[in-house]
Amino acid sequence: MRILKYKEAISEATVQAMEADNSIFVTGHAVDYPSGIFGSTTAAAARFPDRVFDCPSMENGFAGIAVGAAAMGKRPLYVFPRADFMFLSFDNLLNLACKWRYMYGGNAGRVPIVFRAIVGKGWGQGATHSQSPHAPLAHFPGLTVALPATPADAKGLLLSALTGQDPVVIFEHRALYDTEGPVDEAMTPIPFGKANIVREGSDITIVATSFMVSEALVAAEELAARGVSVEIIDPRTVRPLDEKTILASVKKTGRLIVADTSWELCGFTSEVAALVAEKGFHHLKAPVRRIALANCPAPVSMKLEEAFYPKASTLANAALQLLGKASTDMAHIDQESLFKGPY
């Protein structure tokens, strides 16, 4: 199978879906610029110049236009270079798009709108440019929320979104755009609600989202050298959530760490901890451990930002603590952030 970068997989999925369905159009800030959102929309803009266009900074109004277009038979793919810009569109997304099929009982069609929202580490851009609101969005019935961690998932989940009937938000971590991996050339959608067992293990389960999957893999390699076997579960979608795969893994290992790219309180880590406490408590050999962002907005200072994000060493030491082992200095396994902006 071919090796593609994460951004190339998104680009290929977009072009293939637009070739198959002429009702799809792409909009958002800078989608038709030469930079093309890390190159993920460049090929679509060249192939379909009339269906890929920039939009003004009027997120709430334009989201309303996109919802209306979806209700009338179009398939908008609305790209937000930063998820933070999407906050202004929540009224139309949450009060209209995701309630549509419930309010009208199927008598007013469906709203197959797709939002791509870019999240993750900045380069010192601070509190309003580094947030990942996947947990609050997953709170709302009618909305699918996906966080692809690999190139194959980036393509497969986007294809599911662009061929489905309901609103979907896909969160893409900007540190993943140059990640490489095998990607099927065919149009093969990945179903929502089906977790990926990234690595099998027997001592401890790490449920990780988005970029934290990469950090968990690094931690697992280090722990394997110390005789600790780690199982990594990537839920792919936080709504719907594959409870069965998570509970089966905890039943096998008896220990759980949940690692997320957002905050802990009322977040995804809390949801998974509650799930296991409610339905798998009798399997646990130790308390659940949550790994999330520091309990404050992202700082502007690069040094403080480095401390703000949990890393592979954070996960590895948490695993050792759960196993009753002493934590050690593992700074050598932490990856240098290569992202330098501007998007």
The 3 state secondary structure assigned to the chain is CCEEEHHHHHHHHHHHHHHHCCCEEEEECCCCCCCHHHHCCHHHHHHCCCCEEECCCCHHHHHHHHHHHHHCCCEEEEEECCHHHHHHHHHHHHHCHHHHHHHCCCCCCCCCCEEEEEECCCCCCCCCCCCCCHHHHHCCCCCEEECCCCHHHHHHHHHHHHHCCCCEEEEEEHHHCCCEEECCCCCCCCCCCCCEEEECCCCEEEEECCHHHHHHHHHHHHHHHCCCCEEEEECCEEECCCHHHHHHHHHHHCCEEEECCCCCCCCHHHHHHHHHHHHCHHHCCCCCEEECCCCCCCCCCHHHHHHHCCCHHHHHHHHHHHCCCCCCCCHHHCCCCCCCCCC
**pLDDT at 124 exceeding the cut of 80:** no
Candidates 8, 12, 59, 264; catalytic one = 59
pTM of the prediction? 0.96
How much is the average pLDDT of 223-249? 98
**pLDDT at 305 exceeding the cut of 90:** no
- Look at residue 154 in the predicted model and tell me its pLDDT: 98
- Look at residue 234 in the predicted model and tell me its pLDDT: 98
**pLDDT tens-digit series, residues 15-64:** 999 999 999 999 999 999 989 999 999 999 999 999 999 998 889 999 99
- Look at residue 161 in the predicted model and tell me its pLDDT: 98
User: Is 129 an active-site residue?
Assistant: yes
User: Is 336 an active-site residue?
Assistant: no
